[in-house]
Amino acid sequence: MLKSTEVPVKRSSNILKPIYLLFTIVGSIAPWYWLLQDSATLLSPDLFLQATFANNITTAWASDLIISAIAFFCFVWVELKRLNVSRLWLILYVGLTFGVGLSCSLPFFLYRREQILEQNTFTLSP
């Protein structure tokens, strides 16, 4: 019979962290570049929604983004619990999603997740 062994494992330097950080920066600039092109629409919720659902193509993009954001929030909720991190962080990710965009909040969450995983040590048992 095998005896259970505990081996501490420390994650080594991760190449994904700088990539996620780069995506966070680009993902915070790119959406706002396009949004600021039409500031009148941006300042009016009615005009904004009208432009968002103006035709089948924009409606497809918007519905895809809404579904992706909801799935992201569910993933964050579960992952924060798994990582033993306060779920209050979800407020930040929701704020980033609606204030900047999913293109910012998703890579920022992945960046933070890699940081947390690097800081934690794990034990393996057969």
pLDDT at 125: 39
For the segment 23-34, what is each residue's pLDDT rounded down to a tens digit?
A: 999 999 999 999
Structure tokens at 48: 């904004």
102 domain residue, yes or no? yes
Total tally of structural domains belonging to the chain: 1
More confident residue, 94 or 120: 94
In the chain, the N- to C-terminal Cα span, in Å, equals 11
Instruction: Please report whether residue 94 resides in a domain.
Output: yes
What confidence tens digit (pLDDT) does each residue in 51-93 have? 999 999 999 999 999 999 999 999 999 999 999 999 999 999 9
Instruction: Identify the band that residue 13 occupies on the pLDDT scale cut at 50, 70 and 90.
Output: low
Is 60 a member of any domain? yes
Give the pLDDT confidence score for residue 2 in this predicted structure. Answer: 52
Whether 107 contacts 24, CB under 8 Å: yes
* Host domain of residue 44: 19-124
How many other CB atoms sit within 10 Å of the CB of residue 99? Answer: 11
pTM attached to this predicted model: 0.81
- Residue bearing tokens 């999603």: 97
Chain length of the chain: 126
Residue 12 lies in a domain: no
Query: Which CA distances in Å does 21 have to 9, 27, 61, 105?
Result: 24, 10, 24, 11
- Give Cβ neighbours of residue 31 (< 8 Å, ≥ 6 apart): 100, 101, 103, 104
